[in-house]
A and B are shown apart, each in its own frame.
Chain A
């Protein structure tokens, strides 16, 4: 018979609702503060706000819906469980992406087959790997590269994997994909450039 403000009920909207029912715009600092205090509405609002981008990030690399789903799910469960130790000044977006990045990497480690052949790549992308080898083992680096290769656009990835996993030459790749050798070469160069850029962005997550 008692009136329950929450009543075990829960909004599920991209906009959030204060406990008094007022609908307000997304305000991250406030939401994070309230999350730390254990506010369920704030948690739901943050879930909604970041869920899709995190899922996209994970799915692009894993190409498996269930794996991507599980990764994102775990990250949110951990966010809630560790909310009390979450520091207010932490950038939530960075925190979430870093968490997803590391979880995706773990999935890659379990699927180690993918990575093995890419180990040679570590030496091909020196600009990224040179300064980092003190902290990251070659094995890890190969996984990270494999992960970022997985996130490449389909055609680029196909060509790249034919070269680095199946060991085909540019000429063979050109034949198989119905492209000119010249095009494949350009593809490879561009891919390496993209990959370097991505790894430079990705590594801080890992470090």
Chain B
């Protein structure tokens, strides 16, 4: 490494190598940008984003066909209201359904979950209820009815006192964990009022009380978050972090979906409203020091998705509805690879999926269907494309060309 002074000397003399020249110029650019202007970093980000949206609208998207929005969110909601279990706008050749179904009908998932208490007791939650609320003094179902006897002694004590235990250490120990099985979904309202919708085969671990320093939850699987960040309140200034094995998500008050299944190579965070920062998971020990991890944070704007695979993060604009529709009772696939679609079906209907030879797992399909129909209805519609057929025996689906 050359000394900076020497580098500048060479730059002035014009004897730099190409790489050195770029290094000096990049530094100059940064230096000039940091010159006091009256705008702060947040202003720059905000304006940069607004400008990019405007520039893009008048350049790239104007020069080609606008993206085929084949199912806007409003439409998805309408479908839900009508509870129609039909595939919409499936493009591609329409073939004859050649699905051979087993005799047993496989039913969709429902409100199934267990709550693991700090002392290790596991409580099976009521299937007639949709969610639980972690209150100041107790844990209840969303309609206010009590979860009898769920509060472990030490946590119950602090809850009844209406304040968090004095030591952060104690908080760490008092983690609750909400788990859904395959074919299960459940909601939880966290102590700060934030809401989380948990998809099938997922686990959310969270403290019974948040500390003043950080609100942190751990997710494996998929969840939709609606984080409370009311301006001016004390809690809004406490950072909210979602930790998964692939990504660490720093929330700045917002709605977003996180998919972090261990059987999926990709961890995806999709932002609906507000702002989040996404980086490599700090839980991973194969990533470098925390400083470097911090530098790799990518800030998302609404409509963007950050995907982590291995050590790479990519950001792209996505069709939001296809990543959040599950929460509203829909499967919505926007040109999704077959294996990803089958993973979702497998989790929700609690079935095993086997691919026969000759199946292109990466082939993409698009369409929507209610999650609350029978498995047969979903597979039926998929096979309408004429590109795949299914055989179902017991709880196993075989995908055939």
A48 nearest CB neighbor, chain B only: B48
Instruction: Tell which of A3, A28, A59, A76 touches B22, judged by Cβ atoms closer than 8 Å.
Output: A28
Residues of A within 8 A of B50 (CB): 69
- Compute how far the CA of A73 lies from the CA of B317 in the bound complex, rounded to whole angstroms: 20
Stretch in A8-16, A186-194, A195-203 touching the partner: A8-16
- When C-beta atoms are compared, the residue in chain A nearest to B365 turns out to be A1
* CB-nearest residue of chain B to A81: B59
Residue contact B67 to A8, C-beta cutoff 8 Å: yes
A12 interface neighbour in B26, B304, B312, Cβ under 8 Å: B304
What string of 1s and 0s marks CB contacts (under 8 Å) between B334-372 and chain A? Answer: 010000000000000000000000000011111000000
CB <8 Å contact, A56 and B314? no
Least Cβ distance of B45 to chain A in Å? 9
Q: B54 on the interface (CB 8 Å rule)?
A: yes
- Whether A77 pairs with B55 at a CB distance below 8 angstroms is yes
Within 8 A of A (CB), among B25-63: 25-26, 29, 32-33, 35-39, 43-44, 47-48, 50-52, 54-56, 58-60
Docked Cα-Cα span, A44 to B58, in Å, equals 13
- Other-chain contact of B60, A2, A50, A55, A80 (Cβ < 8 Å): A80
Count of B interface residues, CB-CB < 8 Å: 46
Q: Mask for A40-72, Cβ within 8 A of B = 1, else 0?
A: 100110011111110111011001010011001
Interchain CB contact under 8 A, A55 and B304: no
Partner of B33, one of A28, A44, A53: A53
| Range of interface residues on A (Cβ < 8 Å) | 35 or more
Which chain B residues border A7 with CB–CB below 8 Å? 316, 335
- Contact across chains for A10 and B316 when beta carbons are under 8 A apart: yes
Segment 48-106 of B: residues with Cβ below 8 Å from A: 48, 50-52, 54-56, 58-60, 66-68, 91-92
Known: A4-B335, A65-B43, A73-B55. A43 touches B60 (CB 8 A): yes
A23 lies within 8 A of chain B by Cβ: yes
B117 part of interface (Cβ distance < 8 Å): no
- Interface of B, helix, strand, loop or mixed by DSSP: mixed
* A40 lies within 8 A of B33 (CB): no
Min C-beta distance of B252 to chain A, whole Å: 17
Known: A10-B56, A12-B304, A73-B51. A52 touches B314 (CB 8 A): no
Which residues on A sit within 8 Å (CB–CB) of B35?
56, 60
At the interface, yes or no: A21 with Cβ under 8 Å from chain B?
A: yes
State in angstroms the CA–CA spacing of A55 and B318 once bound together: 28
Roughly how many angstroms separate A81 CA and B365 CA in the complex, as a whole number?
35
A109 part of interface (Cβ distance < 8 Å): no
Q: Are B312 and A23 in contact (CB under 8 A)?
A: yes
The answer to whether A143 has its CB under 8 Å from any CB of chain B is: no
Within 8 A of A (CB), among B196-255: none
Q: How far is the CA of A192 from the CA of B314 in the complex (A)?
A: 49
| Residues in B neighbouring A69, C-beta threshold 8 A | 47, 50-51
Chain B residue nearest to A72 (CB atoms) is B51
Q: What are 27 A-to-B residue pairs whose CB atoms are below 8 Å?
A: A1-B92, A1-B335, A1-B387, A7-B316, A9-B317, A11-B314, A11-B316, A21-B312, A28-B22, A40-B60, A47-B55, A50-B29, A55-B48, A56-B32, A56-B33, A56-B37, A59-B37, A59-B39, A60-B37, A65-B39, A68-B47, A69-B47, A72-B51, A73-B55, A76-B55, A77-B58, A153-B36
